[in-house]
């Protein structure tokens, strides 16, 4: 009996280890999250610390898990993170909340906001729905008015978004893929190609605004040219530049502008660094 139990236990351990070392998970990452948002995607590699690496897609990973265990083991991974979606390879660290450097708060797929993060908000532009952190909104208003004086409207398309809203959108997207027959891991990874997981979006922090359009053709507009020239004077940066995909893990988004404060914005603009590089964090 004991031997049988030990064998059974060892089998379970093997199963768990097998899942844990399904080492390289390819998936994509997204920027924004409400259904109107299209911000997406660059493929990222997530590796475990194990030396046993198997490069797979989400789909083949699923197959491996099934053949290894013969049963659903989607929560069997030995992830250290207690993040709700860690079963799919998401193991973010807590974002560093430093009130003295609130404008430099780093939020991305690797650094997530606390679940209850809820900044005080204000309308970015009077008469429009989009809101930003109350400390940022006046700067957007000022920038908006300056562009307006030159005949350009920086329409505030999408500002703050609650984490709970992001979670609802993300979970709905997972369900959508599961209804198409994908298992939970694959469905979650595919959802992350469309929507950033909850807490991972700068919109959840109220620090970013999507301006005018969620189409890369926005880069050809006078508004974009104006922003490239002047936004830093109001503390805003182009957060996901074309040539920084490998670092930001977000594809080029000409519409997504992040407030970092005038000093940092000017330094970032002059240096050509992205925020992760400027903060020396990745």
Task: Decide whether 16 or 123 has the Cβ nearer to Zn ion.
Answer: 123
Nearest residue to the partner Zn ion, using Cβ:
256
Report the candidate in 218, 185, 231 with the shortest Cα–Cα distance to residue 46.
Answer: 185
Could you tell me which residues are beta bridge partners of residue 122? 132
Tell me the window of 48-56, 74-82, 99-107, 207-215 that interacts with Zn ion (CB under 5 A). 207-215
- Catalytic residue of the set 39, 61, 202, 253: 253
| Contact call for residue 122 and Zn ion (CB under 5 A) | no
Residue 278: which region, alpha, beta or left (left: phi > 0; alpha: psi -120 to 50)?
alpha
Run of H or E residues at 56:
strand 55-56
Question: What's the distance, CA 260 to chain centroid?
Answer: 17
Are 191 and 88 spatial neighbours (Cβ–Cβ below 8 Å)?
A: no
Q: Would residue 253 show up in a list of annotated catalytic residues for this protein?
A: yes
Least distance between Zn ion and beta carbon 205 (Å): 11
Q: How far does Cα 111 stand from its chain's mean position?
A: 9
Does 73 participate in binding Zn ion (rule CB under 5 A)?
no
Q: Sheet harboring 236-238: ordered strands across? A: 156-158, 208-211, 256-259, 236-238
How many chain residues interact with Zn ion (CB under 5 A)? 3
**Is 109 a residue that touches Zn ion (CB under 5 A)?**
no
Q: Is 167 in the site for Zn ion (CB under 5 A)?
A: no
Choice from 210, 219, 260, 264 touching Zn ion (CB under 5 A): 210
Note whether 249 binds Zn ion by CB under 5 A.
Answer: no
- Using DSSP's 3-state secondary structure scheme, residue 46 falls into strand
Note whether 258 binds Zn ion by CB under 5 A: no
Three-class SS of residue 42? strand
Print the binding letters for residues 24-63 with Zn ion: x by CB under 5 A, - otherwise. --------x-------------------------------
Could you tell me the smallest distance in angstroms from the CB atom of residue 206 to Zn ion?
12
The reply to whether 256 sits near Zn ion by the rule CB under 5 A is yes
Instruction: Return d(Cα 79, Cα 96) in angstroms, integer.
Output: 21
Residue ranges in contact with Zn ion by CB under 5 A = 32, 210, 256
Catalytic positions are 253
């Amino acid at each position: 009996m004991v031997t049988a139990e030990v064998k059974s236990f060892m089998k379970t351990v093997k199963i768990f280890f097998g899942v844990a070392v399904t080492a390289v998970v390819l998936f994509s990452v997204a920027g924004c999250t409400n259904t109107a948002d299209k911000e997406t995607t660059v493929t990222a590699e997530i590796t475990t610390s194990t030396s046993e690496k198997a490069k797979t897609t989400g789909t083949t990973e699923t197959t491996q898990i099934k053949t290894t265990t013969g049963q659903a083991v989607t929560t069997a991974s030995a992830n250290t993170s207690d993040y709700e979606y860690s079963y799919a390879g998401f193991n973010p660290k807590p974002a560093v909340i430093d009130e003295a450097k609130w404008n430099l708060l780093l939020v991305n797929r690797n650094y997530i906001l606390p679940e209850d993060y809820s900044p005080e908000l204000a309308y970015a532009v009077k008469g429009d729905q989009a809101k930003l952190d109350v400390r940022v909104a006046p700067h957007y208003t000022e920038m908006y008015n300056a562009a307006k004086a030159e005949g350009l409207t920086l329409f505030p398309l999408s500002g703050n978004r609650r984490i709970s809203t992001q979670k609802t959108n993300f979970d709905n997207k997972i369900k959508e893929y599961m209804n198409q027959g994908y298992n939970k891991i694959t469905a979650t990874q595919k959802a992350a190609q469309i929507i950033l997981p909850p807490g991972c979006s700068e919109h959840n922090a109220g620090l970013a605004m999507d301006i005018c359009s969620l189409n890369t053709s926005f880069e050809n507009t006078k508004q974009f040219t104006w922003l490239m020239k002047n936004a830093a004077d109001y503390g805003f940066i182009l957060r996901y530049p074309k040539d920084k995909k490998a670092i930001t893990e977000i594809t080029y988004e000409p519409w997504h502008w992040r407030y970092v404060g005038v000093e940092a914005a000017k330094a970032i603009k002059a240096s050509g660094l992205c925020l992760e590089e400027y903060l020396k964090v990745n």
